[in-house]
Amino acid sequence: MAETVHPFYEKHRGAMEAAMRRRLDLAEAMLRERTQLSDIDGIKREVMDELEIVLTQMPYVGGATSRMSDVFVRLTGFMATSRVLRRHGVPLPDIRDIERETYKAQLLAVPEAKAPRRGRSIHVPGKSGRAARAGDKKHDRGPPGRISGGFRLRFRRAGP
């Protein structure tokens, strides 16, 4: 049975592949410096092939309306790169450093106006006042261990 890619990921495949190519271009210098790999172009091809496999394995998490979709889209690239580098014997700490530094470089290359909204979409418009009031109440709870709504926490010391 042929593996299929979810329609959401299929729709965004072009952008995901382009982002992966940019990330691999940013990683090229680190790959040469931190690994003993000689055929970096071959590694890039392997990563792009692995991305195909990873796309068939990614669960659908709600599409554009879900905050997790962006995380999973980014995760596909990390998974593909890590799998290929690991198969070539690159130590995990080096893979981690290459992935982290490459991701930072990729984020810094994006103009701030186009950068991800960094949590601003978490609050639904019109509900921010309610969240602020809840935050204010949080500080006016009363004695330690007391939670608004009549609940009380009982703390126990660990041990015998």
- CA 153/CA 157 separation, integer angstroms: 13
28 has a pLDDT exceeding 80: yes
pLDDT at residue 40 in the model: 93
| pTM check: above 0.95 | no
47 has a pLDDT exceeding 90: yes
Averaged pLDDT of the chain: 78
135 has a pLDDT exceeding 80: no
90 has a pLDDT exceeding 50: yes
